[in-house]
């Protein structure tokens, strides 16, 4: 059996990363979506396996700062909210593939965060 692994990880833009696999499959991952499904110990309860990051809690404006290979089995992402402990194994990453073939029901994109009119950043 051939192990699935990415042959190309392309930064389409800060909010989207396209992964091409060695079986020719490819999918384009939203940063918020990967962040929401982060598998690290602070995002998933190690004992119960329950995800602590609720859907919609990650703003759709989240950007990817960096992505680096971990050994030859995973990718590690760093996000614009400073979170960088998530190590996404290739198997897991493939499972998350958001293309319409893997997830026909479409992703439920979180609403754009509406800035509080009383506070803004310059
Ligand atoms: Zn995490
Ligand atoms: Zn797919």
Q: Give bridge partners of residue 58 from the DSSP assignment.
A: none
- Alpha helix (H) residue ranges in the chain: 31-36, 90-95
Task: Give me the pLDDT at residue 23, please.
Answer: 96
Task: Give me the pLDDT at residue 69, please.
Answer: 94
The tens place of each residue's pLDDT in the chain, 122 residues long, gives 578 999 999 999 999 999 999 999 999 999 999 999 999 999 999 899 999 998 889 999 999 999 999 999 999 999 999 999 999 999 999 999 999 899 887 666 666 555 555 655 66
Ligand nearest to the CA of 100: 2
Give the Å distance between the CA of 39 and the centre of ligand 2.
19
Fold classification of 6-95 is NE0471 N-terminal domain-like (3.30.2020)
Q: In angstroms, what CA-CA distances link 53 with 64, 106, 109?
A: 17, 20, 15
């Amino acid at each position: 059996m051939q192990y699935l692994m990415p042959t190309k990880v392309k930064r389409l833009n800060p909010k989207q990363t396209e992964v091409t696999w060695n079986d020719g499959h490819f999918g384009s991952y939203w940063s918020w979506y990967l962040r929401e499904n982060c598998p690290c110990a602070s995002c998933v309860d190690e004992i119960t396996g329950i995800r602590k990051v609720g859907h919609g809690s990650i703003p759709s404006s989240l950007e990817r700062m960096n992505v680096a290979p971990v050994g030859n089995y995973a990718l590690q992402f760093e996000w614009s909210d400073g979170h960088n402990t998530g190590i996404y194994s290739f198997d897991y990453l493939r499972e998350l593939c958001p293309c319409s073939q893997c997830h026909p029901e479409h992703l439920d994109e979180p609403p754009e965060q509406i800035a509080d009119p009383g506070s803004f950043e310059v």
